[in-house]
Amino acid sequence: EMSEMSERSKQNVAHGLAWSYYIGYLKIVLPRLKKSMEEFSRANPNMLVCRETWKLHILVPLSCDIYDDLEKADSNIQYLTDLTETTLTRAGTKKRVYKHSLYAIKDEVNKLWHCAVEYATPLQSLYAMSQDECAAFSREDRLEQAKLFYRTLEEILKGSKECTGTYRLIAYEESGEAETHFLSREILWHLQQQRHEEYAVYESNQLNNPSTTLSSTELNLQISESDLPQPLRSDCF
């Protein structure tokens, strides 16, 4: 009876998707990411200058609206290359390939920032369910499940020792207005914050003073219990 109630209220959808995403993908690729970043940095020493950004930046749009091509989502995001592939035999598939794409993000003064970035792919399933009559999944259900997916994934990753320091969750809710470079500005904000964090740690080590830079926990999106999530930040470029 409890299982049926949970299924009717869609409570198990996002929870299952988050765990599947972690077990079947992130737990596999994230521990190998630093090595790939190091290899790329040795070959291209002028690109990945900030080690604090040597992470997989995972986009979590609460609308679940995902572009397959990031360059089409925002012209200030340019595909650069792929990092070293990881090849494993998984679930009967020989030599399954896992890889991440590196992008150049152009800021307002045309400076290029480089990072590995991709969408959280399970959100595509939530979006597809809201478009399929058989799923009986409304737009409101989708929004609530997207919030729950983010909260669940955040808690899972926080408890994962293997994934510590290898990811950055970028959750956001797009405004109703059409903004050409909304996504690139969102990514840039996180990249700049990470650079500030690294610089603050360096200064702290040099001067032996506590850093006043906001922690990554404070910078995370705070999901409200109400229907509307809290704003990601109060500043703008």
* CATH classification at residue 44: 3.40.50.12100
CA gap 24, 18 in Å, rounded:
10
Q: Is residue 212 part of a domain?
A: no
Backbone torsions φ then ψ of 79, nearest 5 degrees: -65, 135
Write out the residue range of the structural domain in which residue 74 sits: 8-206
Q: Is residue 125 part of a domain?
A: yes
Lowest mean pLDDT among 27-36, 120-129, 179-188, 210-219: 210-219
Q: What is the mean pLDDT of residues 220-228?
A: 45
Instruction: Say whether pLDDT at 137 is over 80.
Output: no
Q: Is residue 214 part of a domain?
A: no
Q: Is residue 40 part of a domain?
A: yes
Q: Is residue 127 part of a domain?
A: yes
3-state helix, strand, coil in the chain (%, to 5): 45, 20, 35
Instruction: Say whether pLDDT at 210 is over 50.
Output: no
The pLDDT value recorded for residue 11 is 58
CA gap 21, 138 in Å, rounded:
22
Residue pair 154/163 in contact (Cβ under 8 Å)? The answer is: no
Whole-prediction pTM value? 0.79
Q: Is residue 176 part of a domain?
A: yes
Q: Is residue 227 part of a domain?
A: no
Run of H or E residues at 90: strand 86-90
Count of structural domains, the chain: 1
pLDDT tier for residue 156 given thresholds of 50, 70 and 90: very high
Q: Is residue 172 part of a domain?
A: yes
Q: Which of 110, 120, 186 is nearest to 152 (CA)?
A: 120
Which residues face 90 on adjacent strands?
93
